[in-house]
Chains A and B, each alone.
Chain A
Amino acid sequence: MSSSTTINDFANQQYKWGFTTDIEAESLAPGLSEDTVRAISARKGEPEWMLEWRMKSLRHWLTMIEPRWPNVKYTPIDYQSIVYYSAPKKRGSGPKSLDEVDPKLLETYEKLGVPIEERKILAGVAVDAVFDSVSVATTFQQALADKGVIFCPISEAIKNHPELVKKYLGSVVPYTDNYFATLNSAVFSDGSFCYVPKGVRCPMELSTYFRINARNTGQFVRTLIIADEGAYVSYLEGCTAPMRDENQLHAAVVELVALDGAEIKYSTVQNWYPGDEEGRGGVYNFVTKRGACRGRRSKISWTQVETGSAITWKYPSCILQGDESVGEFYSVALTKGRMQADTGTKMVHIGKNTRSTIVSKGISAGHGNNTYRGLVHVAKKAEGARNYSQCDSMLIGDKCGAHTFPYVDVRNASAQVEHEATTSKIGEDQLFYLAQRGISEEDAVSMIVNGFCKEVFKELPMEFAIEAQKLLGVSLEGSVG
């Protein structure tokens, strides 16, 4: 086996999460209009104010044009051919507890390795599982409620906690924000809501698992997390989709709000179906994620491991409003086959003595194309702001590409902004060194890639760090025999 075979195997990895679940779904006809929005809202039994917000968003969206600036290429999306709502058919009045969830669904999540049966669960992880457009199970709600933590599908929060939703929804990502976020505001179907009250350290990791199953269905997930003064929460999201020839659209919005002294750690392991070798099918992952450090000394950390999707377009950002607030972004983005990723972050320094750290690791294999795009903005009044950015790219093979676009916009002379960038290739000499010590090429590539990503993996909660390593490892599997 030559090093080029390993590299090819690495590039042409099989997608292991590509099965479909044969389950009866209740879907809207494809197409987008005011009626679609009304139908979604009605199905969710939403209050009037929510419908109004959706309608406002839709009307605004109709005036917008799709952005063309990202460094990615794809055939235009026909928004009228997408199904905007699909839900597994309810049995009776819909699942209230896990016992009522369709066993086929539980099986799907089990196959994916997502623990939603409480008794089998890894200690300390509460899971909200989103299947196409609806949330099918939220575990551990009671244990969390005892601490005053609200963790539920956003559709429930709209009904049960309207005051919180009204106050914070759209407060970080306004409905006018950008093409995909505005679309999401009009048609979002479900997602997770979390509120951690003052001074509470959330007793377990919270987690959402997204799964796209139905054909032609867009997934428009909306997540809203609020950490009140002095609160702490760590949240993880994971995603997969079946293999399908057509492209699937995932346009999510995540909003985080951290008040005085609060901390939110948001980790993503994204493994949507990337399409086949020729670039047929795969998920378009167009996501707006933004956190507002509203309070003094608040902190928001984004950690993402992006190993899937045909196209990834996302820039988890931090608005550092509170004095001494801290924003962090740790990212591993892997592109192989025909995958394209244009990802990075925005750190907007507004408060005094705010700090931000950006560590981005891009890995390109096969014909993958990986772009880092980052903005560090220091506002006029942001006295003493500091940023450190590090963007490293690793190339595997010679048909892939890596690009780095760091934008820096500093309006305060006291700011300190540092940027470092490197590009490396997995060298024949490294592979040979490891081979000479008896390590198989597959393990060697995996070792080198994991080594490269180490600084990011160490930011993930333990179980998820192992998951992420496995995910990269799995991408390397299959070159044996």
Chain B
Amino acid sequence: MSLLEIKNLHARIEDREILKGIDLVVNPGEVHAIMGPNGSGKSTLAGVLAGRETYTVTEGEVVYDGQNLLEMEPEIRARAGIFLAFQYPVEIPGVNNTYFLRSALNAARKHRGEDEISSEEFLKLVREKMQLVKMDESLLKRSVNEGFSGGEKKRNEVFQMAVLEPKLAILDETDSGLDIDALRIVAEGVNSLRGGDRGIVVVTHYQRLLNYIVPDFVHVLVNGRVIKSGGKELALELEREGYGWVEEEALSPES
């Protein structure tokens, strides 16, 4: 059974159609990269999968782990193992980062019928994962993302992902705003989560990231549609040639 199956997904914001028929299948253990020009709908797709209410799904279906995803509330999707690393993580003043993360973890555990995590266990887990993404411990004591630098916010996203160990991780431009070293560290963090039954969807503009996180599939999203899919080589081609040729190819009758 596939982990995620998107069929003919259409979504709009107010009266504007943004996603115009997306098809995508992610099987357990696979890593998919989604690339595409600004404004093509990548974040919209991520947001629809996570259940953001600003979008209205008008057509199509999404099956996640055998369930009708579109009927699930956003927090239930999260507890059921969908994690979105945000392109723009939000600041939440006064809410302690550790407290927040622990609440998130316990919500998922409760959903799975497990007990709340003990303080010692949690501390151990947090230490271990912090090392994985080389995150500064002081960030844990601060309010969620408040005053974090752009790179620190991105790192915090990957750190949260590492702690929550989702079944399906969607990373929306987690690489942008990271310096070269950070990029490598974050990529290593993602790679360490790779494998098993976990599915990973990486949205990025840069082939560079894909040198570190080598995808099984690359999809090109243009104007609300996946117009081309391929292996990891596709990313290299895109890097060299830009999006123009894929768009032309998609428009030509024989494609």
Taking the closest CB of chain B, its distance from the CB of A7, in whole angstroms, is 13
- Chain B residue nearest in CB terms to A444: B75
**Nearest residue in B to A392 (C-beta to C-beta)?**
B93
Are A1 and B73 in contact (CB-based, < 8 A)? yes
Q: How many whole Å from A475's CB to the nearest CB in chain B?
A: 17
Given contacts A435-B75, A436-B84, contact A429 B94 (CB under 8 A): no
The segment from B50-58, B59-67, B185-193, B235-243 found at the interface with A is B50-58
- When distances are taken between beta carbons in the complex, the residues of chain A under 8 Å from B164 are 437-438
* Nearest B residue (CB) for A361: B94
Q: Measured between alpha carbons, how far is A158 from B92 in the docked complex, in Å?
A: 51
Q: Contact flags (1/0) for A438-454 with B, using CB distance below 8 Å?
A: 11110100011011111
Residues of A within 8 A of B86 (CB): 433, 436
Please state if A432 and B52 are interface contacts (CB–CB under 8 Å). Answer: yes
Q: Kindly identify which residue among A429, A441, A454 contacts B90, using a CB–CB cutoff of 8 Å.
A: A429
For B170, give the chain A residue with the smallest CB separation. Answer: A436
Known contacts A430-B92, A447-B100, A452-B94; A437/B160 CB under 8 A: yes
Contact residues, B30-82 vs A (CB, 8 A): 50-54, 73-75, 77-79
Please name all residues of chain A whose beta carbon is closer than 8 Å to the beta carbon of B77 when the two chains form the complex: 436
At the interface, yes or no: B130 with Cβ under 8 Å from chain A? no
> Given A439, A448, A451, A453, which contacts B75 in the complex, CB threshold below 8 Å?
A439
Task: Identify the interface centre among A2, A434, A440, A453: most chain B CB within 10 Å of its CB.
Answer: A434
Residues in B neighbouring A434, C-beta threshold 8 A: 92, 100
CA separation between A441 and B53, bound complex, in Å?
13
Contact across chains for B53 and A432 when beta carbons are under 8 A apart: yes
Q: 1/0 per position for B203-237, CB-CB distance to A under 8 A?
A: 00000000000000000000000000000000000
Contact indicator A436/B107 (Cβ below 8 Å): no
B89 at the interface (CB under 8 A from A): yes
Name which residue of chain A comes closest to B90, CB basis: A433
What total of A-B pairs shows CB separation below 8 Å?
77
- Complex contact B92–A2 (CB within 8 A): no
Instruction: Check if B92 sits within 8 Å of A448, measured CB to CB.
Output: yes
- The answer to whether A447 touches B103, judged by C-beta atoms less than 8 angstroms apart, is yes
Chain A interface helix/strand/loop/mixed: helix
A401–B12 Cα distance when bound, in Å, is: 32
Query: How many A residues face the partner with a CB closer than 8 A?
Result: 26
Which of chain B's residues has its CB closest to A455's CB? B94
B124 on interface, CB distance cutoff 8 Å? no
Given contacts A437-B164, A438-B104, contact A454 B94 (CB under 8 A): yes
Q: Find out whether the CB atom of B92 lies under 8 angstroms from the CB atom of A451.
A: yes
Contact string, B86-119, partner A, CB cutoff 8 A, digits 1/0? 1001101111000011011001100100000000
Interface presence of B143 (CB below 8 A): yes
Q: How far is the CA of A430 from the CA of B101 in the complex (A)?
A: 15
Which of A1, A429, A436 has the most chain B CB atoms inside 10 A of its CB?
A436
Question: Which residue from A436, A440, A441, A452 sits with its C-beta under 8 Å from B93?
Answer: A452
CB distance from A428 to the nearest CB of B (A): 7
What residues of A have a CB within 8 angstroms of the CB of B101 in the complex?
Answer: 437
* In the complex, chain A residues whose CB is within 8 Å of the CB of B93: 451-452
B103 pairs with A439, CB closer than 8 A: yes
CB neighbours (8 Å) of B74 from chain A are 432, 435-436
Which residue of the partner chain A has the closest CB to B88? A429
Are A440 and B92 touching (Cβ within 8 A)? no
Chain B neighbourhood of A176, CB < 8 A: none
Please name all residues of chain B whose beta carbon is closer than 8 Å to the beta carbon of A437 when the two chains form the complex: 78, 100-101, 103-104, 107, 160, 164
Q: Is the C-beta of A45 less than 8 angstroms from some C-beta in chain B?
A: no
Known: A1-B73, A428-B54. A436 touches B78 (CB 8 A): yes
| A414 interface hit (Cβ, 8 Å) | no
A47 at the interface (CB under 8 A from B): no
- Interface pair B95/A451, CB less than 8 Å apart: yes
A94 at the interface (CB under 8 A from B): no
**Is there contact, CB below 8 Å, between A439 and B104?**
yes
CB A454 to nearest CB in B, in angstroms, measures: 4
Contacting pair A438 B51 (CB below 8 A): no
Pair B53/A2 contact, Cβ less than 8 Å: yes
Q: How far is the CA of A73 from the CA of B108 in the complex (A)?
A: 46
A455 proximity list for chain B (CB < 8 A): 94
In A248-272, the 8 Å CB interface with B consists of none
Contacts of A174 in B (CB 8 A): none
> Are the C-beta atoms of A447 and B95 separated by less than 8 Å?
yes
When distances are taken between beta carbons in the complex, the residues of chain B under 8 Å from A439 are 75, 100, 103-104, 107
Q: Is the pair A438, B75 in contact by a Cβ cutoff of 8 Å?
A: yes
CA separation between A429 and B75, bound complex, in Å?
14
- Known A-B contacts A3-B53, A435-B51, A447-B95; A440 and B107 likewise in contact (beta carbons under 8 Å): yes
A70 beta carbon closer than 8 Å to chain B = no
**Of the residues B90, B107, B143, contact of A451 by C-beta under 8 Å:** B143
**How far is B90's CA from A396's CA once the two chains are assembled, in angstroms?**
17
Q: A437-B107, A452-B94 given; name 20 further pairs at CB < 8 Å.
A: A1-B73, A428-B53, A428-B54, A433-B86, A435-B51, A435-B73, A435-B75, A436-B83, A437-B101, A437-B164, A438-B78, A438-B104, A438-B111, A438-B164, A439-B100, A439-B103, A447-B100, A448-B92, A451-B92, A451-B143
The 10 A-B pairs at the shortest CB distance, nearest first, are namely A451-B94, A438-B107, A437-B104, A451-B95, A438-B78, A435-B74, A454-B94, A433-B90, A438-B79, A435-B75
Interface residue ranges, B against A (CB under 8 Å):
50-54, 73-75, 77-79, 83-84, 86, 89-90, 92-95, 100-101, 103-104, 107-108, 111, 143, 160, 164
